[in-house]
Each structure stands twice: as C-alpha cells, then as structure tokens.
Chain A
C-alpha cells in the first residue's frame, strides 16, 4: 500500500484542476487552488508533501512562487514540480534556476505523472537524509 501523499496543486485553469482531480484524487490527497496568493495562504497553515504549480498562473508568476517557497526556512524542503505549457529550453532552465525540482510539460499522462510525483518525493527524502 503506497503512502497517500498530500499535494498542493496550483493552476488558474479550471479544466486543468478538474483533470488533476480526476487523475490523482483516488491515490493522493489533493488541494487545488487557482492563485499563488491562495497557495501562500494555504502554506501558512499546512505542509504538503509536494507542490505542483503552473508557471503562468493568471497574472502571477510560478517561478517567483518557487523562489518564495525556497526562501522560507519552514517550506524550503518541500519538493516543487512545475507542470506547465511553457516548453522552450529557456523556460526549463528558468524553472530549475528558480528552485523547481522537476519540470513536466503539458499535456500530462495521469499514470506517468503519478509515478513522477512519488519518485520526486522519494528523491527529496533521500537528499534530506544524505544532507542531515
């Protein structure tokens, strides 16, 4: 039985949030929000196992959100995956530079995405164990 990981998912597109819910809610605890300000409020009181965010969230910037999470001592250990339509080489380099741990280009395959989420969570646990 795999552990039920807790995911914070950020995307201002309603269809994508619904698709994520259909794809992941059976095996994961999924909190979907439509803005980065909502995500920051959520993180002020909750610690998800992983954050998944679009890069373009309405008028807000997911890369700045990555930097925000990495700047907060109580949050900086949380794995971040960017799940986005931004697919150029420059987009990907900017994503990792901002502090993202993984970068997945839409459209996504549900099975593939679920596997990557679990593997990324495991990688970050390994890193934390190695660094401690």
Chain B
C-alpha cells in the first residue's frame, strides 16, 4: 500500500468491462487515484497481492470466485485483512447488503451509482483504522448474532 500523501491506488474488480470503464471514469473524476482493474474474483485476488492497492471495489456476481467469497478470503489472511473494501453490486436486497457487510466489506453500494457517492465511500474507507474496522465487526457480531 502507498503511504502518506502518495497517490492512492484503487483496484476495481468487475466482470463487466463497461461497468469497469464507468467506475474508472467516476474514480478518476476525483483526480487523485491510480486505477488498476481485474475482471473476475480470482484475477482480483492475484492483483491484490501484485498491486497492493489502498482500496478495492468489488462486484458480487463474478465467475470463478464471487465478491462475497473474495471479501472473506481477503479478511481471512493477515496480509490483506486490513485493506479497505467496497462492494459495488446490482444486488439491492437488504439480505445482499447484509451478507456483504457480514463477509467483511467496509461499505456496500448499489448500481447504478453516483460518482460522488462512490468517491465519498472511497474517502471514508481510506480513513478507517484497523481498530475502527474491528469495532465495526464486533458491533455486527453483537447486533446480528442476537438474531440467530
């Protein structure tokens, strides 16, 4: 991951090239991010280790490894557990959003998206500290497990 005031690197993982271009356009509107891309979950996982991005934007419905699995995979390895993760998906049900957050995503946004909303989400997750992320997880455990 880049440090300090260096240009932040955002990895976009989505199997739809048109959506990828839209996200790239939206993120670049903000002007201060380098964008790299992958077109399925496995390629995305490879690129996380190769590129060490500052933030990852992940679709859910993808071949080989879906977005939920990818998020869990990243959170389950100390080398990638604290990377800011945003799910950006066409799946809009409350259960979909909850599955994304329970899997470990920091934010869950739905398509179609507004560039301003996506950039605001990126800025929010980039500010999250590991301690804040753990606190959010603990809160989810308390509030969601009580529903079991």
Q: Is the CB of A122 within 8 A of B76?
A: no
* With A89-B45, A93-B42, A127-B99: A122-B145 Cβ-Cβ less than 8 Å: yes
1/0 per residue, CB under 8 A from B, across A91-132: the answer is 011001000011111010001100110111111011101100
1/0 per residue, CB under 8 A from B, across A39-61: the answer is 00000000000000000000000
User: Within the complex, what minimum Cβ distance (angstroms) separates A101 from chain B?
Assistant: 8
Residue of B nearest to A81 (CB): B76
Interface size on A, residues (CB 8 A): 28
Interface residues of A (CB under 8 A from B): 2-3, 87, 89, 92-93, 96, 101-105, 107, 111-112, 115-116, 118-123, 125-127, 129-130
Q: Is the CB of B148 within 8 A of A121?
A: yes
Q: Is the CB of A115 within 8 A of B137?
A: yes
Pick from A93, A111, A120, A127: contact of B64, CB under 8 Å: A93
1/0 per residue, CB under 8 A from A, across B39-78: the answer is 0001001100100000000000000110011001101111
Interface size on B, residues (CB 8 A): 34
Pick from A87, A103, A115: contact of B72, CB under 8 Å: A103
* With A89-B45, A105-B78: A115-B138 Cβ-Cβ less than 8 Å: yes
Chain A residues within an 8 Å CB radius of B68? 123
B119 lies within 8 A of chain A by Cβ: no
Q: Is the CB of B102 within 8 A of A115?
A: no
Task: Give complex CA distance A107, B134 in Å.
Answer: 18
Q: Is the CB of B73 within 8 A of A96?
A: yes
Chain B residues within an 8 Å CB radius of A3? 145, 148
Q: Is the CB of B137 within 8 A of A92?
A: no
* With A2-B146, A89-B49, A122-B147: A105-B76 Cβ-Cβ less than 8 Å: yes
Q: Is the CB of B145 within 8 A of A123?
A: no
Residue of B nearest to A82 (CB): B76
B141 lies within 8 A of chain A by Cβ: yes
